Homo-oligomer: A and B are copies of this chain.
Amino acid sequence: MAVTVDVVVLTIRDDELQVLLVERGVEPFRGRLALPGGFIRAEEDAEPAARRELAEETALGGESLYLEQLRTFAAPHRDPRGRVVTVAYLAIAPDLPVPVGGTDARAARWQPVWSVLSRDVELAFDHAGIVEHGVDRARSKLEYTTLATAFCPEVFTMTELRRVYEVVWGVSIDARNFHRKVTNADDFLEPTGERRVLETGRPAALYRRGPARTLFPPMLRTAFPPVLPSDPDS
């Protein structure tokens, strides 16, 4: 029985939640988009395998990349080549100027998640279902953890952090209440003391992630609207 890892890497680009996909160079599903991933090596644990595949196929990586196990998919005929069980991982990346398109010479690219969830873009294997799980997990974890900061660069403004919630949840959030809430939560954010001057408007204070990993009290959100082509202001 073969065991692989597949990674759902999420980021926010152009005010949309996007997922990292690679074009398959070999059969089956040659030319089709798929999640980055591959076989676990003989002396390798699953998480290192996920990090390695990500680095090889997409040039994304580093210790700082947030990575957690999602779940395992083991349906008997999910891979036409035979019995392949895959351990899926969820990664969250900031929208860095990342040279996507890795050393493995395979074309990697970002794709809006709504295009995958709506099946406008068809992925190889059962990868669309895996992306669905990843998005669900990310949406839930924003509620009760400080995961949102994983979408942000090392220093960021309050508005950037708020956009994470708005884009991932597909809702609009009152900037003023949000500000109070996250600054009151212990160890969520650390002010750098610096300010960023934008093209227009008052300069925004800059923050860095704090040591907290859970958020109490949690961000409450009554329901998840469906994932749609970017319209958080409805």
Contacts and interface: CB of A to CB of B under 8 A. Distances in A.
A157 interface: no
Interface string A28-56: 00000000000010111110000000000
Interface string A50-86: 0000000000000000000101101110000001010
A45 B77 CA distance: 9
B1 A45 contact: no
Chain A interface residue number, banded: 20 to 34
Copies of this chain, whole number: 2
A53 B87 CA distance: 21
Nearest to A41: B76
Which 6 pairs between the two chains have the least Cβ-Cβ distance? A46-B74, A72-B72, A72-B87, A1-B3, A43-B76, A45-B75
17 contacts: A3-B3, A3-B74, A3-B85, A40-B74, A42-B83, A43-B76, A44-B76, A45-B74, A45-B76, A46-B74, A46-B85, A71-B71, A72-B72, A72-B87, A74-B87, A85-B85, A216-B222
